[in-house]
Structure 1
Amino acid sequence: MTRKLTVGVVGGGIGAMQIEAFRALPDLYSLEVICDIDASRVESLAAKHAIPNVLTDFDALIARDLDIISICTPSGLHFEQAKKALLAGRNVIVEKPFASSLAEADELAKVEQESGKRLCPIFQYRFADGLAQLQRLRERGLVGKAYAATVETHWRRLPAYYDNPWRGRWAKELGGCLVTHAIHNHDMLMRVLGPVRSIYARTATRVNPIETEDCAAAVLEMADGSFATLSVTLGSQEEISRLRFCFDGLTVESNHSPYNPGKAPWRFIAADPERQKVVDVAIAEVDPAPELYAGQFSRLHKALTEGGELPVSIADARPSLELITAAYHSARTGEAVRLPIGQDHPLYAGWLPPTARGRA
């Protein structure tokens, strides 16, 4: 019989989307507690989703006998709350970015190992049928040498979006469009093409009067020798996300859904009709599976109850923080930055600008 895992969610903003996913997996999870400093919001979520317990204090939450604590609070709180939950003997799910520096990511890896519990960063865009189809083609040897790729994260954020007191502020959100918006698409790029060798990036604040960047562009050299370009803006009148890959014998393009570009259908354009037939057959072999949060959580349940690899581990998610670190350093120095980034790098301990460090 499948063992249900008990869950407490802290943070009722993005946490509401996680709650929907947990509720969609009733045989796997029992959502026991919702915690938020906003008492009215937490009461409303509890009533809507029949969650039996409400709290407004994080320490009270991690004191509960729960299998998992899911952290959906403002970004600047993620590291400390994840660390406290691990030390309290709880498995942890944590929204992106799961830490505010590579140093914190490496510390969490040590705490995870010492605690005997497991930490799963959120990268829900990875779990979608279109991306799975591309991975199947790669397994079949139908994806040749990579040449170039483009990633567009063109979203729209109006001034009202920043009425929330932690958005658009370095110390609370830990960055702008590179951290809170494009991070998922850039993670998908690295899932497909592998590690980044170097990056040249530029950032600007052009759309709204905020502390952090809302436009960015970058050129990446990948470790396999291919190139990728990144384009990010929060000033697009039509919201899209698009990933396009040019391989030897195959061009691949994602759908344009801004918040789930990994879902099918994707376009797979082969070099000739015979190769196209083989590609189409391989794609058809991929059965639809739970996507986004439900996709990640269904795989997480298996890892926690049966053992094996997490759907996303700290090691899996760390390259996203390394790319952010390198992009900000390149934008500030005007120079290309080589990866990997070691402990001697000026931003290893944190990518926030000096004027933002230590601010509440």
Structure 2
Amino acid sequence: MKKFGIIGVAGYIAPRHLKAIKETGNQLMCGLDPYDGVGIIDSYFPEADFFMEFERFDRHVDKLRRNGQGLDFVSICSPNYLHDSHIRFGLRNNADVICEKPLVLNPWNIEALETIEKESGRRVYNILQLRLHPSIMRLKQQVEEALKLNPNKIFEVDLTYITSRGKWYFVSWKGDIAKSGGVATNIGIHFFDMLFWIFGGVKKSVVNLLNSQSASGVLELQNARVRWFLSVDFETLPKEVKNENKRTYRLIYIDGKAVEFSDGFTDLHTESYRNILEGNGFGLREARDSIELVHQIRNAEIIGLKGDYHPFCQKVFG
């Protein structure tokens, strides 16, 4: 049984981590969050200590370590801009770290964490759950089989992901690009990782659209050309989706054929934890490419509706 601490236990994604810790047969020792609405802990680990101040949490974790009861893992569900600092905290306390995506906001943060990993002898793991999604795993296998027959094949891919958000989103840290990294980072990072995992690394990136609500561009990968569109704007949803009172739209077309992967997400955190506990998790190296891309997107020249672009861009530009 491994001993866990969790930072950001009141966050949206934290229940999946609590469930994963429980279902893998491990123990949550303590949690931290500046917000005290954490009754969800009672459903999993009612005996866990809880702190609202980082300083007290830090002291508690240090005492556990000095008493020979140190944490084996620290799970991080805090806002994106705090991930780097909280990962360092876990490593300094002789614990391995499991962090939500995006692992960090900037590529140079990864380089620094690699150094601290070596100094501490501990590991950093990123939750990249789409790599464990059955539909995505089948797709990767199909692409690999096609590339055996034609190694130079370039797949034509359209990626659309809209998860509409209310006004609260732009008041919260998620609406602050300095804290969240913006739309491409906050909601797009795991899709970019998935694309790299299947089709290879980036050869060229063009950004057609980038604002607080939407982002879109064209990627040339080793074996694919990808038109992508990401948005939290309800108005960009297709009419038929709005008519069904749905607020999320997720679709990938590959060579004109739709790839369905709307379901099967809920248990992927538990599967991720199982892989990590078996020594097979995704680390800093796997996270690097997508972090580099979203950093480039944030700092790219926005070219508008020039050349080829994702058709949903017209919903924004009119």
Given the two structures, how large is their TM-score scaled by the length of structure 2? 0.79
Q: 1:252 to 1:69 in 2, by over 3 A?
A: farther
Quick check: 1:34–1:46 contact (8 Å CA) kept in 2? no
C-alpha distance in 2 between matches for 1:239 and 1:88 = 40
C-alpha distance in 2 between matches for 1:252 and 1:68 = 41
Does residue 329 (structure 1) correspond to residue 305 (structure 2)? The answer is no
Correspondence 1:73-88 to 2 at 5 A: 73-88=78-93
Shift of 1:332: 5.4
Letter matched to residue 54 of structure 1: F
Which position in structure 2 is the counterpart of 1:15?
Answer: 14
SS in 1 for 2:301: helix
SS in 1 for 2:281: coil
C-alpha distance in 1 between matches for 2:257 and 2:197 = 14
C-alpha distance in 2 between matches for 1:93 and 1:19 = 12
Quick check: 1:202–1:330 contact (8 Å CA) kept in 2? no
Shift of 1:36: 1.3
Shift of 1:31: 2.1
C-alpha distance in 1 between matches for 2:133 and 2:261 = 13
Which position in structure 1 is the counterpart of 2:50?
Answer: 54
C-alpha distance in 2 between matches for 1:296 and 1:218 = 30
Does residue 120 (structure 1) correspond to residue 108 (structure 2)? The answer is no
Deviations 1:46-80 (A, max 9, x none): 32323312223341354231100011111111101
Specify which of 283, 295, 300 is matched with residue 271 of structure 2.
295
C-alpha distance in 2 between matches for 1:19 and 1:141 = 39
Quick check: 2:105–2:295 contact (8 Å CA) kept in 1? no
Does residue 131 (structure 1) correspond to residue 101 (structure 2)? The answer is no
C-alpha distance in 2 between matches for 1:203 and 1:311 = 34
Does residue 45 (structure 1) correspond to residue 53 (structure 2)? The answer is no
Runs of at least 5 residues in structure 2 that lack an aligned partner in the other structure = 65-69, 307-318
* Structure 1 runs (4+) greater than 4 angstroms displaced: 138-144
C-alpha distance in 2 between matches for 1:152 and 1:93 = 28
C-alpha distance in 2 between matches for 1:46 and 1:21 = 13
Shift of 1:95: 1.4
Give me the CA root mean square deviation: 2.5
Given the two structures, how large is their TM-score scaled by the length of structure 1? 0.71
Correspondence 1:101-112 to 2 at 5 A: 101-112=106-117
Mean Cα deviation higher: 292-301 or 230-239? 230-239
Larger helix proportion, structure 1 or 2?
Answer: 2
Quick check: 1:6–1:67 contact (8 Å CA) kept in 2? yes
Which position in structure 1 is the counterpart of 2:203?
Answer: 197
Q: 1:167 to 1:136 in 2, by over 3 A?
A: closer
Letter matched to residue 204 of structure 2: S
Deviations 1:205-254 (A, max 9, x none): 3xxxxxxx211111111134x311111111234412222223xxxx7632
C-alpha distance in 1 between matches for 2:121 and 2:300 = 37
C-alpha distance in 2 between matches for 1:301 and 1:112 = 17
Which position in structure 1 is the counterpart of 2:29?
Answer: 32
Which position in structure 1 is the counterpart of 2:313?
Answer: none
C-alpha distance in 1 between matches for 2:207 and 2:248 = 22
Shift of 1:163: 4.5
Specify which of 294, 313, 317 is matched with residue 283 of structure 2.
313
Quick check: 1:219–1:227 contact (8 Å CA) kept in 2? yes
Mean Cα deviation higher: 290-299 or 140-149? 140-149
C-alpha distance in 2 between matches for 1:71 and 1:61 = 17
Runs of at least 5 residues in structure 1 that lack an aligned partner in the other structure = 206-212, 265-289, 304-309, 337-360
C-alpha distance in 1 between matches for 2:219 and 2:128 = 21
C-alpha distance in 2 between matches for 1:60 and 1:221 = 48
C-alpha distance in 1 between matches for 2:283 and 2:82 = 19
Identity %: 23
Deviations 1:11-63 (A, max 9, x none): 1212122112222322xx2222222122x323x13323233122233413542
Q: 1:296 to 1:121 in 2, by over 3 A?
A: same
Q: 1:329 to 1:167 in 2, by over 3 A?
A: closer
Shift of 1:155: 1.5
Shift of 1:135: 3.1
Letter matched to residue 296 of structure 2: A
Question: How many equivalent residue pairs?
Answer: 279
Quick check: 1:127–1:291 contact (8 Å CA) kept in 2? no
C-alpha distance in 2 between matches for 1:114 and 1:252 = 48
C-alpha distance in 2 between matches for 1:190 and 1:16 = 28
Quick check: 1:149–1:229 contact (8 Å CA) kept in 2? yes
SS in 2 for 1:92: strand
Does residue 151 (structure 1) correspond to residue 159 (structure 2)? The answer is yes
C-alpha distance in 2 between matches for 1:252 and 1:92 = 38
